[in-house]
Amino acid sequence: MFDSVRNTRRMRMNAAAEDPVVVGLESFEAFYAREFRPMVGLAFALSGSRLGAEDIAQEAMMVAHKKWDEVALMERPDAWVRRVVSNMAVSAYRRRLSEARAIARLAGRRSEPIPALEAPDAEFWKAVRALPGKQAQAIALHYIEDMPVAEIAEVLDCSPSTAKVHLFRGRKNLAAALGLEDRS
């Protein structure tokens, strides 16, 4: 019975249909297949850990899997999981946890890390990570996910105007740190 409860499936059955084809809600498997890599990218940008990014993304997916009954019913399950990923990635203790796992994994030679970035790109993300957490998250979502302000707000769980402020300040600070021009 353990698995029966843990693996509770969300399934809407179409009462009108002769064959009760599942409609509406997406399976966790499909969600994972589509979203895992982008989540790793987001985690990589915000944590800077080539070895820990996958752990962070996977940990977030674990949380989503555990709560899939609720998450699947959300309007934007992907936004919710991105929030978990970005929070984990900028969280100090999560970073330490990931690094600890990374060290253990490296020692065991069980996995290939994400390839290292070229120096200019690495420098850019290092500067992003030096920003205050919400600014860093807004910047990462803006560039990696190409998200408009409204979607960034959804992921950060704040109002669009607040997200706009995070993005604006993040851009300003980032441009200053990198000696670049912000033409926005």
Beta carbons of 136 and 152 less than 8 angstroms apart: no
- 116-145 binders of other proteins (CB under 8 A): 116-118, 120-121, 124-125, 139, 142-144
Give the N- to C-terminal CA distance of the chain in Å, as an integer: 56
Task: Give the nearest distance from C-beta 165 to other proteins in angstroms.
Answer: 17
Residue (28 or 156) nearer to other proteins, CB: 28
Rg (CA), the chain: 19
Span near other proteins by CB under 8 A; candidates 74-82, 86-94, 129-137, 157-165: 86-94
Nearer to other proteins, 70 or 159 (CB): 70
Q: Is 2 in the site for other proteins (CB under 8 A)?
A: yes
Question: 12, 15, 58: which is closest to 36 by C-alpha?
Answer: 58
Touching other proteins, residues 150-169 (CB under 8 A): none
Contacts with other proteins in 21-80 (CB under 8 A)? Answer: 21-22, 27-29, 32, 36-38, 40-41, 44-45, 54, 58, 61-63, 65-66, 69
Among 113, 162, 164, 168, binds other proteins (CB under 8 A): 113
Report helix, strand or coil for 76.
coil
Q: Are 39 and 61 in contact (CB under 8 A)?
A: yes
Of 157, 155, 127, 126, the closest CA to residue 142 belongs to: 155
The answer to whether 120 and 128 are in contact (CB under 8 A) is: no
Residue of the chain from 75, 107, 109, 115 that contacts other proteins (CB under 8 A): 115
Q: How far is the CB of 1 from other proteins (least distance, A)?
A: 5
Among 76, 96, 103, 159, binds other proteins (CB under 8 A): 96
Dihedral of the alpha carbons of 135, 138, 44, 145, in degrees to the nearest 10: -160
The residues facing 13 across adjacent strands are: 22
Distance in Å, CB of 159 to other proteins, minimum: 24
